[in-house]
Structures are given as C-alpha cells and as structure tokens.
C-alpha cells in the first residue's frame, strides 16, 4: 500500500491517545472512524477532541470553523466491524496489556481487507508479539505516539521481525503527510527509545526524591527551567557537542558511578499506587489536583508546545 491509497482510517480506543490520534487524521482530511466499547467512552472521546481543538483555536492554530466541524466529521461506533471492514489503516489504542491487544488484533485480522495495515500505539509491547495474533505479520507494526498525541510531533515507527518495507514506508509517509515527524527504529525492544530515555531520567529522579535530596516539585522546576528549555531547541547529543566530549568524559567519571542503577521498579512508585495516589485521575499524586488545576496544566502544556515552532495543522 502507498500513502496516496490511504483514504479510511479507524482508531480503536477513544481514550487520551485514541481520540487525539483520530483528531489529527480527521483534521488532515481523512475519513476517520473512532470505535470504543461504550457510547459513554465515545462521547468522552469526542468531547476531548472538542476541548483540544478549542485550546488550539484560542491560540490561532486552527480556525474556529475547523474546531467546530472536525469533531462532527469523526464517525463513532461501538461495533468493530463497522469501523474496520473498509479501513486502509487501523490504529489500535486500547489498554496496555498484551492479551487485550492481541485479542483486538486477532479480531481485526478477521475483519479487515487483506490490504489493511494494523498499527499499535503501545509504548512497551513488541510488534512481533502483536503480529503473532494475525495472518498478516508483514502488515503489523507499532506507531508509538507521545502524549498529547495531537501536539507532540514525534512518532516512533517500530517494525516487527516480519514487517515489510512497504508497510513501514506507508505508515512513515502517512505520518509525515499529517505533520508528524516519524523516526523508524532499526529493531524492536521494550520501551523503544522515548520511553527508555524517560525512564532512565525518572529512575534517577525518584531515587533523588527517596533519598531526600530534592522534592518532586523541585525536580520538575529544575527540568522545566534548565534541561527542558535546552532540549526544546537541541537534543542531548547536539547540546553536549558544544561542551566537548573531553569535558563530558571528565564529568562522567565522577557522576556516572553514583547514578541510580537498580533494575527494580522504584519503591516510591509502588507506594504511590498502593495509596491510590495516581495523579490527576484520583486528585492526588506528587501534587494535589482539582479540575481547575488540571485544566490549567493542560492549557500550559498546549501553549508551550504550540509555541516551540509555530505549530499549525490547518490543511
């Protein structure tokens, strides 16, 4: 399949990732169907699209007319067959559990035409494991978006062991066509690249908090007002090229031996989960959350991301 042959796209799962991905394809003019298990989750998903586009319209990133019309252009259904039977590409965005996703892929394989490409948004599972539930392993891969998916341009494209070059090229070209910046990985591995980098940083951050070196709030302040600002303009390799690898080598000899290197999940994370302090969804995590403070954070993230490079998705 070539990218110019893609007309219909189905997104399975109407949660944070699913509705944001459906929004992007619909905004780019594709025929999009969003499918979920219940009408209530579909309604929440479409409402999420409306709220996302309203924030973008506030910043002049999309027109008011488009912000109003795009949510209505997304067809919704609770019937997987309706969503997938004529789709050229299906993007799966259901719960992050292997057997759940394999069950969806197994059903999609039976429903979809032979030409249909099946992509998963999983952040940790191997595309080869998902492909094993189908008779089309050459047409299965991972398209790992970063939350919020309609704002962060990067998508990691991860082929499985049997994924064809044609499939990789079609998905890469489709993502490029809607304004994303796909990076094709050379092999599948847990967490791909972005999640592994995030966890390397989070492991050290949680260790520093557990040891009483710094508070979670000050970790965020340090990242926002130093490394985060630099990394929005230049990546870690670019930045350190300016310093020189001789200097970095000298620093590494003193710092690297003292970094957290445990392979165990941080105790602090388990403690938070055991107490039900899950973050925004429960009103408390490392911060206390109200609907107002949650919305303020989402707006702050939206405004910051659209300002990084003059973001626009108008066709």
Tell me which of 151, 184, 217 is where a domain ends: 184
Query: How far is 220 from 155, CA to CA, in rounded Å?
Result: 24
What would the DSSP string read from start to end of 235-274? -HHHHHHHH-HHHHHHHHHHHGGGS----SPPHHHHHHHH
286 part of a folded domain? yes
Q: Could you tell me if residue 224 is inside a domain?
A: yes
Q: How many residues does the chain have?
A: 315
Q: Considering only CA atoms, which of 6, 14, 7 is closest in space to residue 34? A: 14
Q: What is the CATH number of the domain that holds 250?
A: 1.10.1040.10
SS3 at position 162: coil
* In a shared domain, residues 160 and 29: yes
Q: Is residue 253 part of a domain?
A: yes
Judge whether 274 and 282 are in contact, CB under 8 Å. Answer: no
Same domain, 86 and 156: yes
In the listed set 184, 203, 235, which residue is the last one of a domain according to the structure? 184
Q: With both helix axes pointing from N to C terminus, report the angle between 64-73 and 16-27 in degrees, rounded to the nearest 10.
A: 110
In a domain, 47, yes or no: yes
Please indicate, yes or no, whether residues 122 and 220 belong to a single structural domain of this protein: no
Task: Identify whether residues 170 and 210 lie together within a single domain.
Answer: no
Task: Mark which of 149, 184, 219 sits at the end of a domain.
Answer: 184
- Pair 168, 149 in one domain: yes
Inter-residue contact 134 to 109 (CB < 8 Å): yes
Cβ 113 vs Cβ 86: under 8 Å: yes
Question: Do 89 and 54 fall within a single domain?
Answer: yes
What is the spatial distance between Cα 87 and Cα 235, in angstroms, rounded to a whole number? Answer: 37
Whether 268 is in a domain gets the answer: no
pLDDT at 315: 46
pLDDT per residue, tens digit, the chain (315 aa), is: 888 899 999 999 999 899 999 999 999 999 999 999 999 999 999 999 999 999 889 888 899 999 999 999 999 999 999 999 999 999 999 999 999 999 999 999 999 999 999 999 999 999 999 999 999 999 999 999 999 999 999 999 999 999 999 999 999 999 999 999 999 999 999 999 999 999 999 999 999 999 999 999 999 999 999 999 999 889 999 999 999 999 999 999 999 999 999 999 999 999 999 999 999 999 999 999 999 999 999 888 888 887 775 555 554
Do 49 and 176 lie in a common domain?
yes
Residue 298's domain comprises 275-310
- Rg for the chain, CA atoms, rounded: 21
For residues 52 and 182, the answer to whether their CB atoms sit within 8 Å is no
Q: Answer yes or no: is 315 within a domain.
A: no
Cα–Cα distance for residue pair 309/28, rounded to 1 Å: 19
pTM of the full structure: 0.91
270 within a domain of the structure (yes/no): no
Q: What is the CATH number of the domain that holds 67?
A: 3.40.50.720
Q: Are residues 147 and 293 in the same domain?
A: no
Q: How many domains does the chain have?
A: 3
CA–CA dist 224, 216 (Å, integer): 12
- Do residue 200 and residue 304 come from a single domain? no
Same domain, 285 and 140: no
Residue 144 phi, psi (nearest 5): -90, 105
Q: Clarify whether residues 131 and 54 are in a common domain.
A: yes
Q: Verify that 180 and 31 share a domain, yes or no.
A: yes
Q: Considering the domain boundaries, does residue 91 fall inside one? A: yes
- φ and ψ at 116, to 5 degrees? -70, 135
């Amino acid at each position: 399949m070539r990218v110019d042959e893609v007309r219909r796209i189905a997104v399975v799962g109407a949660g944070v990732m699913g509705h944001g991905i459906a929004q992007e394809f619909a905004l780019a003019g594709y025929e999009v169907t969003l499918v979920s298990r219940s009408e209530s989750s579909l309604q929440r998903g479409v409402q999420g699209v409306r709220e996302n586009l309203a924030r973008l319209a506030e910043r002049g990133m999309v027109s008011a007319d488009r912000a109003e019309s795009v949510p209505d252009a997304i067809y919704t259904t609770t019937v997987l067959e309706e969503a997938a039977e004529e789709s050229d590409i299906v993007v799966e965005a259901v719960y992050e559990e292997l057997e759940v996703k394999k069950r969806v892929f197994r059903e999609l394989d039976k429903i979809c035409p032979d030409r249909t490409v099946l992509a998963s948004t999983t952040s940790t599972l191997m595309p080869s494991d998902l492909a094993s539930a189908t008779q089309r392993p050459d047409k299965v891969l991972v398209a790992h978006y970063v939350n919020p998916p309609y704002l962060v341009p990067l998508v990691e494209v991860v082929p499985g062991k049997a994924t064809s070059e044609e499939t990789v090229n079609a998905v890469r070209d489709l993502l490029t066509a809607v304004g994303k910046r796909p990076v094709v990985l050379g092999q599948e591995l847990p967490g791909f690249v972005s999640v592994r980098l995030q966890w390397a940083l989070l492991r050290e951050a949680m260790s520093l908090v557990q040891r009483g070196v710094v508070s979670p709030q000050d970790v965020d302040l340090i990242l926002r007002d130093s490394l985060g600002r630099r990394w929005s303009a230049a990546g870690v390799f670019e930045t350190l090229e300016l310093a020189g690898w001789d200097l970095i080598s000298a620093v590494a000899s003193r710092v690297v031996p003292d970094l957290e290197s445990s392979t165990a999940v941080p105790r602090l994370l388990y403690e938070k989960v055991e107490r039900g302090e899950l973050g925004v969804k429960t009103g408390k995590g490392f911060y206390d959350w109200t609907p107002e403070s949650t919305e303020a954070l989402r707006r702050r993230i939206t405004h910051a991301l659209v300002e990084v490079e003059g973001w626009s998705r108008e066709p």
